[in-house]
Structure 1
Amino acid sequence: MKSINLQRTESLLMELIPEALSNLVDSRINSLAITAVNCKNGKYDAIVYFDATDYDKVEIREIIALLNKANGRLKTHILASTGWYKCPNFTFLNDTSLEKSKNIEALFAKIRKPKSEEE
Structure 2
Amino acid sequence: MKSINLQRTESLLMELIPEALSSMADERIRSLPITGVNCKNGKYDAIVYFDGSDYDKNEINQIISLLKKANGRMKSHVLASTGWYKCPNFKFVNDTSLEQSRNIEALFAKISKDKKEEE
Is TM-score (shorter-chain normalized) higher than 0.5?
yes
Q: Does 1:40 align with 2:40?
A: yes
Alpha-carbon distance, 1:115 to partner:
3.9
Secondary structure class of the residue paired with 1:37: strand
Q: Which runs of 5+ in 2 are unaligned?
A: none
Alpha-carbon distance, 1:109 to partner:
1.1
Structure 2 match to 1:109? 109
Alpha-carbon distance, 1:73 to partner:
0.3
Q: Compute the TM-score of the two structures, normalised by the length of structure 1.
A: 0.95
Cα-Cα RMSD: 1.4
Counterpart CA distance in 2 for 1:64 and 1:29 is: 9
Structure 2 match to 1:89? 89
Secondary structure class of the residue paired with 2:43: coil
Q: Does 1:14 align with 2:9?
A: no
Question: How many residues matched?
Answer: 119
Q: Work out the percentage of aligned pairs sharing the same amino acid.
A: 80
Q: Quick check: which one's helix share is greater?
A: 2
Structure 1 match to 2:31? 31
Counterpart CA distance in 2 for 1:100 and 1:114 is: 21
Q: Which runs of 5+ in 1 are unaligned?
A: none
Secondary structure class of the residue paired with 1:113: helix
| Letter of the 1:111 counterpart | I
Structure 1 match to 2:76? 76
Alpha-carbon distance, 1:62 to partner:
0.1
Counterpart CA distance in 2 for 1:60 and 1:7 is: 27
Secondary structure class of the residue paired with 1:47: strand
Secondary structure class of the residue paired with 2:85: coil
* Moved >4 Å (runs of 4+): none
Distance 1:110 1:76, change over 3 A: same
Alpha-carbon distance, 1:117 to partner:
2.1
Structure 2 match to 1:4? 4
